[in-house]
Amino acid sequence: MCGGVEARQADKVWRIYFPNPKAAIPVQLKGSGQLDWIHWGRRKEEPGSSPHGGWARLGTVKAGGWDRYKPCRGFGMVERFMEKEGRLGDKNRPSHWFDVPQGYALECLIIGEGEQRRVYVVTTDPPEEYAWIHDRWPLLAELKTT
């Protein structure tokens, strides 16, 4: 379900983990060359009206379940993502890091404005060879160069 990401900014590599209330992801908005660090999701203890969590199931997005938030498409410009093995609440869950292929990014939804702006990573079924790790996987989007 992508519990962490690794991003690079100049010579600095950042490891960002969703549980951190200051977690943000570098996101490029569709149709824009601008890169913004956007707060990743919303934790249960955080105020606001955006959904709890940091992920959006692709099936729910396609069914219109996110339409009321008027999301914009974005691309999480990260080099790697982390999946935790097993279910939330399991103890000693091993972490597995996966490279994002060159020319790809995490498919994301951006909702809200100003300080309330949030990014949610779109998830889908895992590749068959990784289904044993987790039942949700970040959706990768190919970055088009024109």
Q: Give the CATH number of domain 4-142.
A: 3.90.1680.10
Residue 10 has what pLDDT? 83
Note the pTM of the prediction, 2 decimals.
Answer: 0.93
3-state secondary structure 59-106: HHHHCCCCHHHCCEEEEECCCEEEEECCCCCCCCCCEEEEECCCCEEE
Residues with Cβ within 8 Å of 28's Cβ and at least 6 positions away in sequence, in order, are 34, 35, 36, 74, 75, 77, 105
Q: Identify the residue whose tokens are 């549980």.
A: 19
50-87 pLDDT, tens digit per residue, is 999 999 999 999 999 999 999 999 999 999 999 988 77
At residue 35, what is the residue type?
A: L
pLDDT of 31 > 90? The answer is no
Residue 88 has what pLDDT? 67
pLDDT of 146 > 80? The answer is no
pLDDT of 7 > 60? The answer is yes
Q: Tell me the torsion sign for CA atoms 76, 14, 103, 83.
A: negative
45-55 pLDDT, tens digit per residue, is 998 889 999 99
85-101 pLDDT, tens digit per residue, is 877 667 788 899 999 99
Average pLDDT over residues 6-18: 92
